[in-house]
Chains A and B, each alone.
Chain A
């Protein structure tokens, strides 16, 4: 019985296969290796211009076929295709978990900066110059903190 992603299917295998499928069979190794190693990057398919990641050469076609990505840059190149895929898999497209200390700090500061800039816009529009001056000071502070993190 195999249960994954809400689906159950029965595998009919002899005892040894059931126990050892892919575990000791040396033939399955070479097969796995062949598939897993991404075996030589495929030649261009020709007619239809396929979008490729400029960093690693992985194509949209590869993504559709393998449901895998070639490198982290692919997440930017194929974002449009990926977001619905991620939403489908996880019901969400925003990471709220931890990030490495430095990165998390940078992100927090950037968010704060965006918020402050928006507030500044409102303050200027409302002609609250005192508040605007205060906000400019804070924006300056956050920008300095960001500079520090990056150095």
Chain B
């Protein structure tokens, strides 16, 4: 069984690797909500009943072919600080981190499959992949579902499909999403149009940490809203179409900025570089927004790429729970800003300043 420290030391490849359309698409996920037939949903179940569900599903989860050498932990044995680290890594949800008796997480070695037990539903199967990789994420989640359905009896209805604690998930129980980095559209103040367009097609646009979170660092998750009616394939096809379009529009916006407002662009990226490399107090909002601009600088060719290979890891390291874990103690907000600034200065000390002359030839692909 994988240890927590091992999990932390080896971030998921979907997180560190550059996937398809990696200049805009950061990561993809497909989540399937499943419940056991004849059992109260976790939110309504007594603690004893939730524990029984965990006992019932555990052998089936451990036997999954994708679950070799996993990290498995019941929440009675995983302190809240550690759960926060998993939230920041997008391996569990904020809602799940807040749960108690009977809740547990099963994460496979490559961290491409994360299963939450007793979240809002008995099981949440999540397939994760780098870049614009919905097919891969679907294969992972669907593969686990197919193996589990041989051993566990799901709550089903011939008319309504998979039954879930919340009617917003009934039907396929599937939520598919792609995390996109949209700095140029944000600079051009075109995000509201993107949101409206996506909404009109039945898709939701959310911030970095899902429902109810702010769009920090110009990172946006686009996901399906509808789970009942269209098939999984139809939902994925619609999402793919919209995401493909948003990626195109972001690339056009980058080209547009390079063409029409190079000075503004260089100014923003230059200031971000300066702040990240020289500030002594950095809030997480500033850090995320400046790192977003630095990433844009990399994509436009004016900032060295190789030093920022672990860009997304740096993004994690400066999150509150990661910071405190690194420090080995709780930190006050002001302390966090100081420690965060120090980490950024140290990690970026060898990063050469932006090279404006490369702006035009660099461009977006």
Chain A positions within 8 Å of B, measured between CB atoms, are 1-6, 8, 11, 13, 15-16, 18-24, 26, 28-29, 32-33, 36-38, 41, 55-56, 58, 66-73, 75-76, 82, 85-86, 89-101, 103, 107, 110
Contacts and interface: CB of A to CB of B under 8 A. Distances in A.
A32 B100 CA distance: 10
Given A19-B320, A56-B44, A95 B228 contact: yes
Contacts of B207: 1-3
27 contacts: A2-B213, A5-B225, A8-B192, A19-B288, A20-B320, A23-B87, A23-B94, A23-B320, A28-B98, A32-B95, A36-B95, A37-B47, A56-B44, A68-B44, A68-B165, A71-B44, A72-B155, A89-B228, A92-B226, A93-B160, A94-B159, A95-B157, A95-B159, A95-B171, A95-B229, A97-B161, A97-B171
A90 B205 CA distance: 17
B230 A97 contact: yes
A86 B40 contact: no
Contacts of A70: 40-41, 44
Interface of B: 35, 37-41, 43-45, 47, 80, 84, 87-88, 94-95, 97-100, 120, 146, 149, 154-163, 165-168, 170-172, 174, 192, 195, 199, 202, 204-207, 209, 211-216, 225-233, 235, 283-286, 288, 320-321, 324, 333, 336
B220 to A, nearest CB: 8
B283 A90 contact: no
Contacts of A38: 43-45
Given A67-B166, A89-B168, A101-B149, A19 B321 contact: no
A89 B167 contact: yes
Contacts, number: 198
A68 B166 contact: yes
A125 B165 CA distance: 46
A151 B241 CA distance: 43
A36 B99 contact: yes
A55 to B, nearest CB: 8
A55 B212 CA distance: 33
Contacts of B159: 93-95
Given A3-B195, A36-B43, A18 B285 contact: yes
Contacts of B211: 4
A72 B95 contact: no
A1 B45 CA distance: 34
A93 B159 CA distance: 7
Contacts of A103: 156, 158
B283 A86 contact: no
A85 B160 contact: no
Nearest to B332: A16
Contacts of A23: 84, 87-88, 94, 209, 320-321
